[in-house]
Amino acid sequence: MIQLKTLLNVLDNSGGAIAECIATLKSSKAGATIGDRIIVVVQEQRNYKADKQGSSNAPHKVKRGDIRHAVVVRTKKKLQRPDGSVVRFDDNACILINKAAEPIGSRATGVVGRELAKTRWSKILSLAPMHV
């Protein structure tokens, strides 16, 4: 369950490493779960290794302090599925999106929850290496 001030890992290659939730775009006061859209502020940037000329390998699309929309893809809170199984991840994670609901990064670096398939986030599922 993601609520105000929750820290999340950023799973895409947009340039952000850690983001803090500042709002959930859900009518329920319980908090956001996998597949919900939230608003985050980027707290830390990724450090890309510099090549021989000193420039970075990948340009930062987001910077520290940027306010962006994101989709929750993993939560630490246990989630019970309709078949009776319970899934729980080690961390809270999100993927940054633009206002048109398209991912900012071009690939995801970790597993995502299968609950994204039930919502409209099929583009994020195709970026991820595996969904559990």
Mean pLDDT of the chain: 89
Q: What percent of the chain has pLDDT over 70?
A: 90
Q: Report pLDDT for 26.
A: 79
- Give the pLDDT of residue 68: 96
What is the mean predicted confidence (pLDDT) over 2-30? 92
Return the structure tokens found at 71.
């989709």
pLDDT band of 51, cuts 50, 70, 90: very low
pLDDT band at residue 130 using 50, 70 and 90 as cut-offs: very high
Q: Which of 132, 54, 47, 66 is nearest to 93 (CA)?
A: 132
pLDDT digits (tens, 9 = 90+) for 56-87: 555 678 999 999 999 999 999 999 999 999 99
* Residue 91 structure tokens: 């961390």
* Domains of the chain and CATH, by start: 7-127 (2.40.150.20)
